[in-house]
Amino acid sequence: MKIETVAVIGAGVMGSGIAAQIANAGKQVLLLDIVPDGAENRNIIAESSIQKLLKAKPAALMHKRNAKNITAGNLEDNLNNLADVDWIIEVIIERLDLKQDLYKKIEAVRKPGSIVSSNTSTLPLAVLTAGMPNSFSDDFLITHFFNPPRYMRLLEIVTGPQTQQQTIDALSHFCDHQLGKGVVHCNDTPGFIANRIGAYWMQTAMLDTMRLGLSVDEADALSGKPMGIPKTGVFGLMDLVGIDLMPHVLDSMVNSLPKTDAFHEQAIIPDVVTNMIADGYTGRKGKGGFYRINKTGGKKVKESINLDTGEYATSVKPSLESLKPGIAKNLQKFLNFDDKGGEFAWSVLSKTLCYSAGLIPEIGDNIEAIDRSMKLGYNWVYGPFELIDKIGVDWFINKLEATQQSIPPLLAAAKGKSFYRFHDGQRQCLTLSGDYQTLTREDGILLLSDIKLHQQPVKKNASASLWDIGDGILCLEFHSKMNAIDPDILAMIYTAVDIIPNDYNALVLYNEGTNYSVGANIGLALFAANVAAWPQIEGMVKSGQDTYKSLKHAPFPVVGAPAGMALGGGCESLLHCDAIQAHAESYIGLVEVGVGLIPAWGGSKEILSRWMTNPKRPKGPMPAISKAFELISTATVSTSAQEAKGHLFMLPADGISMNRERLLFDAKAKALTLLDGYTPPEPLELTLPGQTARTALNLAVTSFVQSGKATAYDGVIADQLAMILSGGETDIDELHDEDDLLTLERKAFMALIKNEKTLNRVQHTLETGKPLRN
């Protein structure tokens, strides 16, 4: 069965967020909520939710037009419309009576074989289906999304004994392929997997912070990078999720977990937190949380709460010995370190990891599912069992024994082993019996991290590697710091261009970093500029241009496969590909003007050519030139792959993968489709108007400068850009080939990098991560 239409019932934050992601997948969604008493507009709740979606930050919709895929309605007038949909998701308030009333109404109208799911996070499936007809239970399951549904990749699915296998399969497939979720099948136990462990971990960390008298800054620094938890740390995370949720989550856990469960020991809400909630300090959505931004005095000052007094004070960078790089980077040293930080780390990690290990098989019998849940649902860098492997199973057991903590059976079974291993060419994980079971990937999932387990790279240098991903396709992986493009990456592109024609068929640019690439390594360029090494800098620019040009005209297809940010030089690498297969969450743009430069690795040329050769462009070159000028001079970054198509960073034929894990497979497939009869792109020739166009472009900028929306130096940069896009110093329409435009890019770049203001921008951005307006 196929899912084409969906209804979401309940238009709150979660409901509308789920509806948005379904709309992002290009499916039609019916969003229903109740009719408020005496409402004139009976769809007012759903309609205003859709309005809010358009303004949500971070954006819930990948493109504004996706809002059109959502139809607002209400539960009185539109109930019958449920008869037309394939999947009905209930996202209403967590009250059993209301839910079951609704289910009865749904059951009366829905079409046979349609799927019904609840987004509950606290009510067991068994309770939800109690007393419901078999026909309902056959098609019912729990689909637990995480907030915000567009960005959080975990989807927990809980099925009952009656749920039909085909229902489970169809829904899993849809959520995986269309919604891009990492589906984890869970047992019907309280909090399922992620919240059971996550809530325990957060509570433990909070109570240990108070017990040891640490500041929230210290606790977050300790639980961030050193433990492999995102840099928000635990208090930052609670601010993000909403502190007022804690009592609800704890209540439901406490009420449903057996008295023997270790959760109860940690289920305490300290007075300071109760007071915070009462005073409206519920986190980022409220007046602030454990952290707040104090704007009095015109400056933004980050403050943290003192958990003893409840008073806020300016956040202080922690200076614990245990946070020194030599210690915090080595887990064993860190956990053994003799200060409050080491004590905290050991206490929180040992309890959390033992609790996790003790939940097998109760919440699931597969440790990989548990690790996956924590990574996808709580953004942990490592799951609990991966963490134990990193610490060392035996070391962990010994220390638990030494500190007289009890050892869960699964951990005892792991003694002398590790939870994961690579054996006979297979990834395997440990089971409760002490045996290993082989882990398999679903069809259509291809990961570089798997390939690396059993292959050596074809070529490798400090910043990039080439991997053979089968069927004659090579994958070029960046692995420099933040995947910044540097001379080593350029050299590896050359290597690929060199070896592929003889031994392979096509190339995919892809990596599994957080971001595809944040741009060229301008730290190198800045240093060279500071010592006035102008010929070397021009050489770097030329070498990037030559490399990307050789990629573009190579006698084989090249597919760019970005995920996350693809900025500046990273974006330029994509613009020189034959096709792009992007993860839906790709943020693409030419941001060079932010640091006082212009795209000079062929980026200005390529974006201009894309708009000039756009079949839909109006007559005359000016509209295309203006569009390219606007995109570059405002450093436009598309907020999704869908938006990137609108900017022509991606072309209509380029593909989008909703699921991050399917990106490489899809990109490879794309490359294979290009193989047959492949010819490299024709040499570029553009007719550009010269001076007149430049004058027109500058006119627009001048008004921005005069009105204070742009600085005078922004005007200088824009003029250099206008010089390239208009075709340089000519007064008549002149034919320009690729090299002419590259020469113009280079000239403009060199003029700008010699300017003190550009160097100050570059330096400021590298040091603070923020742009400098000078």
Partner 1 sequence: MAIFKAPVDDTKYLINEFLDTSELNGNPMFDDMTPDLTDAIFEEAGNISESLLFPLNRSGDEQGCTWDDGSVTTPDGFKAAYDEMTASGWGNLTCQQEYGGQGLPHYVANAVDEMVIASNMSFSIYMGLTIGAYNAVNQFGSDTLKKTFLPNMVSGKWSGTMCLTEPHCGTDLGLIRTKAILSNDGSYNISGSKIFISAGEHDLTENILHLVLARTPDSPKGIKGISLFLVPKINLNTDGSLGNPNNVSCSGIEHKMGIKASSTCSMEFNESKGFLVGELNKGMKAMFIMMNGARIHVGIQGMALSHVSYCGAVDYAKERIQGRALKGPKHPEKAADPLIVHPDIRRMLLTMKAYTEGARALSTWLSFQLDVSHHADTEEQRQQANHLVSLLTPIFKSFLTDMGETVTSLGMQVYGGHGYIRENGMEQYLRDARICQIYEGANGIQALDLVGRKLPAHMGQYLRYFFHPLSQFIEENADNESVQMYIQPLSKSFTRLQNASLVIAQKGLSNPDEAGAAASEYLKLFGLVAMAYMWAQIAVQIKSDAGSMSEEFYDAKLKTSLFYMQRILPKTGALLSNIMSGSDNTMSLDAEQF
Which part of the chain contacts partner 1 (CB under 8 A), choosing from 451-459, 531-539, 675-683, 742-750? 531-539
Which residue lies nearer to partner 1 by CB, 422 or 534? 534
Residue 500 tokens read as 């592929």
Residue 243 tokens read as 């502190």
Which part of the chain contacts partner 1 (CB under 8 A), choosing from 170-178, 307-315, 427-435, 525-533? 525-533
The CB-of-557 to partner 1 minimum distance in angstroms stands at 35
Which residue lies nearer to partner 1 by CB, 540 or 697? 540
Cα–Cα distance list, 510 to 438, 493, 607, 674 (Å)? 27, 12, 21, 17
Tally Cβ neighbours within 10 Å of residue 539: 13
Per CB under 8 A, does 523 bind partner 1?
Answer: yes
The CB-of-343 to partner 1 minimum distance in angstroms stands at 20
The CB-of-766 to partner 1 minimum distance in angstroms stands at 6
Cα 508 from Cα 670, distance rounded (Å)? 9
Per CB under 8 A, does 533 bind partner 1?
Answer: yes
Per CB under 8 A, does 518 bind partner 1?
Answer: no
The CB-of-760 to partner 1 minimum distance in angstroms stands at 9
**Nearest residue to 660 (alpha-carbon basis) of 400, 273, 460, 372:** 372
**Contact present, 305 and 286 (Cβ < 8 Å):** no
Cα 410 from Cα 417, distance rounded (Å)? 11
Position among 248, 274, 534, 681 found at the interface with partner 1 (CB under 8 A): 534
Position among 528, 651, 669, 696 found at the interface with partner 1 (CB under 8 A): 528
Per CB under 8 A, does 210 bind partner 1?
Answer: no
The CB-of-482 to partner 1 minimum distance in angstroms stands at 15
- How many C-alpha atoms does 224 have within 13 Å on its Cβ side? 16
Name the β-bridge partners of 25.
Answer: none
Which part of the chain contacts partner 1 (CB under 8 A), choosing from 379-387, 437-445, 522-530, 554-562? 522-530
Residue 404 is given by DSSP the state T
**Sign, Cα dihedral of 539, 541, 545, 548:** positive
Which residue lies nearer to partner 1 by CB, 77 or 756? 756
Position among 135, 394, 527, 709 found at the interface with partner 1 (CB under 8 A): 527
Which residue lies nearer to partner 1 by CB, 17 or 594? 594
Helical ranges in 91-164 per DSSP H = 96-109, 125-129, 134-138
Residue 514 tokens read as 């957080």
Per CB under 8 A, does 526 bind partner 1?
Answer: yes
Per CB under 8 A, does 485 bind partner 1?
Answer: no
Position among 536, 687, 695, 703 found at the interface with partner 1 (CB under 8 A): 536
Which residue lies nearer to partner 1 by CB, 303 or 339? 339
**Nearest residue to 593 (alpha-carbon basis) of 549, 537, 626, 637:** 637
Residue 730 tokens read as 């000519």
The CB-of-529 to partner 1 minimum distance in angstroms stands at 8
Helix (H) / strand (E) containing 492: helix 487-503
Which residue lies nearer to partner 1 by CB, 536 or 687? 536
Position among 126, 653, 766, 773 found at the interface with partner 1 (CB under 8 A): 766
Helix (H) / strand (E) containing 528: helix 522-530
Tally Cβ neighbours within 10 Å of residue 416: 9
Q: Using alpha carbons only, what angle is made at residue 642 by residues 638 and 643, rounded to the nearest 5 degrees?
A: 30
Position among 262, 381, 445, 524 found at the interface with partner 1 (CB under 8 A): 524
Position among 130, 268, 532, 653 found at the interface with partner 1 (CB under 8 A): 532
The CB-of-299 to partner 1 minimum distance in angstroms stands at 19
Which part of the chain contacts partner 1 (CB under 8 A), choosing from 217-225, 265-273, 528-536, 637-645? 528-536
The CB-of-721 to partner 1 minimum distance in angstroms stands at 24
Cα 590 from Cα 34, distance rounded (Å)? 45
**Contact present, 8 and 15 (Cβ < 8 Å):** yes
Per CB under 8 A, does 531 bind partner 1?
Answer: yes
Site for partner 1 in 744-763 (CB under 8 A): 756, 759, 763
Position among 97, 271, 731, 767 found at the interface with partner 1 (CB under 8 A): 767
**φ, ψ for residue 298 (rounded to 5)?**
80, -15
Locate tokens 């500190």: which residue?
A: 403
Helical ranges in 303-392 per DSSP H = 325-328, 331-336, 340-358, 367-378, 384-391
Query: Which residues contact partner 1 by CB under 8 A?
Result: 523-524, 526-534, 536, 756, 759, 763, 766-767
